[in-house]
Amino acid sequence: MKSFFFISILLSIFTANLFAQGMQVKYQDVSQAKMQEQNKEIASMAAKELSKNLPQKIDQFTTLQSIQNKDTTLLYTFLINDPKKSDEAIRKQDHSRMKKVVVDGICKTSKRFLQAGINISYTYLSAKSKKELFKFDVTKEKCNYPVPR
What domains are defined for the chain?
2-21+46-141 (3.30.300.250)
- What is residue 32's predicted lDDT score, i.e. its pLDDT? 80
Q: Identify the CA nearest to 126 among candidates 68, 76, 66, 82.
A: 82
72 burial level (CB within 10 Å; 0-12, 13-18, 19+): buried
Distance separating alpha carbons of residues 56 and 108, to the nearest angstrom: 22
- What is residue 149's predicted lDDT score, i.e. its pLDDT? 62
- What is residue 6's predicted lDDT score, i.e. its pLDDT? 42
- What is residue 5's predicted lDDT score, i.e. its pLDDT? 44
- What is residue 43's predicted lDDT score, i.e. its pLDDT? 92
Question: Which ranges of the chain have pLDDT less than 50?
Answer: 1-7, 9-11, 13-14, 16-18, 20-21, 25-27
- Could you tell me the pTM of the whole model? 0.76
- What is residue 145's predicted lDDT score, i.e. its pLDDT? 81
